[in-house]
Structure 1
């Protein structure tokens, strides 16, 4: 889970595995795999860093790296 800030300032946690895309429109809009959109105060670059750190924390990034190494 990553912690983000809603437009009203409330903090909430979001399951990063459900994120399909992150856009700046100009507010940061996160589209989930179910089509739901969440608008947050966090800049897109910060959201991406939070996602990457979460993937590292749960070991998912290493799995992707190993699969990529096998395809080379």
Structure 2
């Protein structure tokens, strides 16, 4: 992940669109695939996630709009 925060600030405050390579640099995107391979890449990611322990995905309570968790 890059250390340059300027793209992060621009996206958060200005809503500026970024291309894939620019979004990858600060870590918004972790993998870039050709458009023709998007479906297969998404399925591969879903399969990897499905193999993880379900406990890792459980949340206790509901998220608050402020970002906190309600027990």
TM superposition score normalised by structure 1: 0.32
Larger radius of gyration: 2
More strand by share: 1
More helix by share: 2
Higher relative contact order (CA 8 A, sep 6+): 1
